[in-house]
Amino acid sequence: MKCVLFALVAAVAAAPIKLCTINRNVLSEDNKVLYTGKRCVSDNPMFDYDPATKLLKSKDTNRCLKIKKQEMELVTAPCEATDSYQRWELGSNRVKSAAVDRCLKASTEPDTAVTLAKCDLSTSLKSNQFLADCDSVESTYLTITPTVGKLLLSEFDGSLYADKEVKNLNELFVWDHPNGMLKSASKNQCLDAYSVDKGKFKLHTYACDVNNSNQKWNYDQTTKTLKHATHAGQCLDVDPSYKDHHVQMWECTPNNLHQQFTIAPYKP
């Protein structure tokens, strides 16, 4: 089957980019139909994005991506810069129509046709609207599950929480193993523990810096503890009784269930 990669030309450098789902399925085209799949390996850009007209044009067919107004159906059509239903906006991990409240919906299952849906502009992954530059999508995302409370760690507004799973980008993290750093997928910042008083520390996320000693962590797979590599004797700690669900730093204590976490690859 003919496999054509979906790519765009950037506004300034006119550089092509490929769009990926959260699990790196590439947005592709076959016989004028868009779908997601891993088997497309060509590096050749087959779509152009004009940031002035906001048209997405296939290099193969010279046709543009369009929404049929009446049916609200995704099609390709002869390119017309004056047709508002051929205009698309890229950003916030979405491909959004500039004319109506519709976004591309791309399944994380391979070889699935891309459709349209009302835009969900949150960080939700359940809507299957996540599409981003493949260069910015990590090969592996992780979830961090405390032993207590049936919760997941998540980032929100630069702080770390332990709450019930909601399946959004805030619940995903990336391990930078060589540098011992944990990065939030939603904020693109690293977990940072800083001193506020003698022997007391607070958590937040901060711009990742390999030279920032506050951002260094060790995970012990035997004890399941996330120990700070710089602040000796300090561990990540979760107390499910906290009504605001905040995660804290606390003195490491052996066999403390509040300081035990399972780190596992994210599976959509």
In the predicted model, is pLDDT for residue 9 greater than 60? no
Q: What is the pLDDT of residues 29-57, one digit of tens each?
A: 777 788 887 655 454 446 788 888 998 88
Q: What is the pLDDT of residues 82-135, one digit of tens each?
A: 999 999 998 999 999 999 999 999 999 988 999 999 999 999 999 999 999 888
Reduced to 3 states (helix: H, G, I; strand: E, B; else coil), residue 90 is strand
Q: Cβ–Cβ contacts within 10 Å for residue 27, how many? A: 24
Name the token pair of 213. 């000693």
Are 98 and 91 in contact by the 8 Å Cβ rule? The answer is: no
How far is C-alpha 121 from the chain's CA centre?
Answer: 13
**What mean pLDDT is predicted for residues 221-239?**
97
Going along the chain from its start, the domains and CATH numbers come out as: 4-136 (2.80.10.50), 142-265 (2.80.10.50)
Cα separation of 216 and 214, whole Å? 6
| Range scoring the smallest mean pLDDT among 32-46, 71-85, 185-199, 216-230 | 32-46
**pLDDT attached to residue 46:** 64
**pLDDT attached to residue 175:** 97
CA distances from 112 to 29, 61, 115, 174 (A): 11, 21, 9, 27
| Range scoring the smallest mean pLDDT among 41-45, 97-101, 169-173, 188-192 | 41-45
pTM above 0.95, yes or no: no
In the predicted model, is pLDDT for residue 177 greater than 80? yes
Name the token pair of 171. 């619940």
**pLDDT attached to residue 181:** 98
Average pLDDT, the chain: 89
Q: What is the pLDDT of residues 195-216, one digit of tens each?
A: 998 889 999 999 999 999 999 9
Are 197 and 189 in contact by the 8 Å Cβ rule? The answer is: no
| Dihedral pair phi/psi, residue 258, rounded to 5° | -70, -10
CA distances from 105 to 45, 49, 144, 175 (A): 21, 19, 27, 28
In the predicted model, is pLDDT for residue 15 greater than 70? no
